[in-house]
Structure 1
Amino acid sequence: MPGASESKGASARSTRADAVRNRQVLLDAAAEVFVASGVDAPIREIAAKAGVGMGTVYRHFPTRADLVVAVYRHQVEACAEAGPALLAAAGSPFTALHRWVGLFVDFLVTKHGLAHAMRSDSGGFEALHAYFLDRLVPVCEELLDRAADAGQIEPGTQAYELMRGIGNLCAGQGDDPRYDPRRLVDLLLQGLRQPKSA
């Protein structure tokens, strides 16, 4: 029969696991809300999407800036982890690249909002931008290399230039409802295709 100290240890582990789960659910919900409504979306909307109370949001993220930065890091990690997973599951390196770029575009919506939200803290934003490049450029390079090795795209496209080009296409996304960056990003990707795989 477990002793009191073992029960307390199990209870503490369960509480920590619940807190980690709540944080992940909040980050996923906030990312969805930020993509749909921007980083100025009401916190109550994020709490409702996550199925938690406002107090839970503020316990994990005392300020909006804390939440935005955490979502940014969370999305960078999700994008970084998605690359290898998509390569393993997609069957075609070009399909994996295409799906990864879709995730990257969703992330960029939040990233541009973050740049606006953190304009007073340029040092903090620069550090996050360096982290973004360190994590995502190698993933994009791997996707491009695999698609080129499979003869599905023209070789020679640099990951940084592709990511920067996609970022430029996404920059004005919220300003004009007639503008759909995803359509242009899709055209950009199709332009990488080898003629024989088109």
Structure 2
Amino acid sequence: MSIMRSDAKKNYDHLLTVASDLLSKGGADASLRDIARTAGVGLGTLYRHFPTRDALLEALLRARFDELTVRAGELEKSSTPGAALAAWLRETVAIAHAYSGSITAMVAAIEDGVSPLHASCLTMRTAGAQLLVRAQTAKQARDDVDGADLFALVGALSWVADQPALASRSDRIFDIVTGAVLIPPIDLES
């Protein structure tokens, strides 16, 4: 992103905050008009910053992916390897679920080297893979799982949480899946 005037940066950040809130409540199909109205700006201001819905979603996801990358580093320093991996997985699934329908964009971004999300998504996946390797080295995770598997598990677990008929079981399914990856089973609440 180029250098912005302070008022433009303020609008940009405010639009992202409002969009994050509305999109997490209404899914990826929340109205751009409602986002602009709620942010107290004109639709033209929104479109100057985010010319398409995809551009807005990409900016939101990129920010969340970058946060997850930083969070992986924090967890690596503060938790046991298995607990760090489980916590990162839970937070990653929560973010993927918060933007209902975003898992498709995440999966596509990994495969599309020119996607604006590609670098952030790849960095986030690498951070998770490092947590996995750390847990594997400590003999706290199966050694036949890799970073691509971990990313696929995030997609599967967020999909479960997105399904009305399965959402009430999503925490239980998360525990089953992480229990199958982590050895010995650890207390996932820590």
C-alpha distance in structure 1 between counterparts of 2:137 and 2:157, whole Å: 27
Counting only pairs closer than 5 Å after superposition, residues 62-141 of structure 1 correspond to structure 2 as: 62-88=51-77, 90-109=78-97, 110=99, 112-113=101-102, 115=104, 126=112, 127-128=114-115, 130-131=118-119, 133-141=121-129
Q: Name 1:10's counterpart in structure 2.
A: none
Q: 1:154 to 1:43 in 2, by over 3 A?
A: same
Tell me the C-alpha RMSD between the 2 structures: 3.4
Q: CA deviation at 1:68?
A: 1.7
Q: CA deviation at 1:48?
A: 6.9
Q: 1:183 to 1:48 in 2, by over 3 A?
A: farther
Larger C-alpha radius of gyration, 1 or 2? 1
C-alpha distance in structure 2 between counterparts of 1:25 and 1:81, whole Å: 22
Q: Name 2:180's counterpart in structure 1.
A: 191
**Unpaired runs of 5+ in structure 1?**
1-12, 117-121
**Bigger RCO (CA 8 Å, 6+ sep):** 2
Code of the aligned partner of 2:180: G
Matched residue of 1:162: which SS?
A: helix
Instruction: Figure out how many residues of one structure are paired with residues of the other and give that number.
Output: 177
Code of the aligned partner of 1:112: G
Give the TM-score normalised by structure 2: 0.70
Is 1:167 matched up with 2:155?
A: yes
Q: CA deviation at 1:44?
A: 5.4
Q: Name 1:149's counterpart in structure 2.
A: 137
Question: Does the 8 Å contact 1:47/1:57 carry over to 2?
Answer: yes
C-alpha distance in structure 1 between counterparts of 2:33 and 2:86, whole Å: 34
Give the TM-score normalised by structure 1: 0.68
Q: 1:46 to 1:156 in 2, by over 3 A?
A: same
Matched residue of 1:26: which SS?
A: helix
**Unpaired runs of 5+ in structure 2?**
none
Code of the aligned partner of 2:76: L
